[in-house]
Amino acid sequence: MDWHSYDSIASDYARISQHAYFDQPARDLISLLDPPTNGRLCDLGCGTGAVLQAATAFMAREALITGIDLSVPMLTEARRTMRAALVAGRLPHLPFAGESLDSVTLGFVIQHLANPAPLLAEISRVLRVRGRIGMTCWADSASDNDAGRVWSEVSRKYVDLEEIQRALDEALPGTNAYRELETFASVPEVAGFEIVAAETRTYPIVIDTGLWIASRALSTGPRFVRSRLTEPVWHDLVDEVAERLNSDFGQTLPIETQVNFVVAAKSD
């Protein structure tokens, strides 16, 4: 199992994680970004299409909306639900002429990058003057809670905690750094963009315990843990988590997530 890749989880990600955690922040991101209704927008790392769906609902049919992602299976899921153009590609290169876009979005993408500067420079190249970039990242994710701590406690019985942390640092080097809104906002600011909006929003969620477990299994850390175990042992881990959560919380989990939003404009 290639735990780095989203290819094998695309359909479950679209069915579970996108609807539970990403659709509403995507709508809020587009609302804050306020792109020209007839403009040109590109969503980078578009995944299964949460931001693209929000953009197509907000913008006119004449708008030119593009999504770029490395994972073809994720793009395949996105294609099921929208009219945007979809492109398989690896960041930071963007297949656009200079100053040809009005808006660029990055929903939960920056934390994947050890050095976001090359991508921000490329975004600056393709944005028109005063064009906007909109970004989100987790301040607290769906696993930053008591249920997530149960998952972590059980996982440590099967895979060494330091090994899990090294894998997370490799795959998501910016996760902890960008939990602070000020630090997240500095990413486009250092690249020469002017901050238009920066805020943190809270999302209360009530989710079926089994569905939360299924969504947690799709996350980066658990995918790494699964790659280190045989399938029977992995199922033992999941069963132990389910037993503890059902005992402690019952069949539903009241949780909340917190999302950092930053919108910035390209300087004159």
Identify the architecture of domain 7-266 in CATH.
Answer: 3-Layer(aba) Sandwich (3.40)
What pLDDT sits at residue 268?
A: 85
Could you state, in order of their start, the residue ranges of all structural domains in the chain? 7-266
Q: Whole-model pTM? A: 0.96
Of the pLDDT bands very low, low, confident and very high (cuts 50, 70, 90), residue 1 is low
Instruction: Name every residue whose Cβ is closer than 8 Å to that of residue 102 and which is 6 or more positions away in sequence.
Output: 35, 36, 39, 40, 41, 127, 128, 131, 132
Q: Decide if 127 contacts 268 (C-beta within 8 A).
A: no
What does the alpha-carbon distance between residue 101 and residue 153 come to, in Å, rounded to a whole number?
46
What does the alpha-carbon distance between residue 69 and residue 95 come to, in Å, rounded to a whole number?
12
% of the chain with per-residue pLDDT over 70 = 100
Per residue in 67-101, pLDDT (tens digit) is 999 999 999 999 987 878 999 999 999 999 999 99
What does the alpha-carbon distance between residue 86 and residue 76 come to, in Å, rounded to a whole number?
9
Q: Which segments within the chain are labelled E, that is strand?
A: 40-44, 64-69, 85-88, 101-107, 127-140, 193-208, 252-266
Per residue in 218-246, pLDDT (tens digit) is 999 999 999 999 999 999 999 999 999 99
165 burial (CB, 10 Å; 0-12 / 13-18 / 19+) is exposed
Structure tokens at 191: 């690249």
Pick the more confident residue, 268 or 87: 87
* Rg of the chain, C-alpha, whole Å: 19
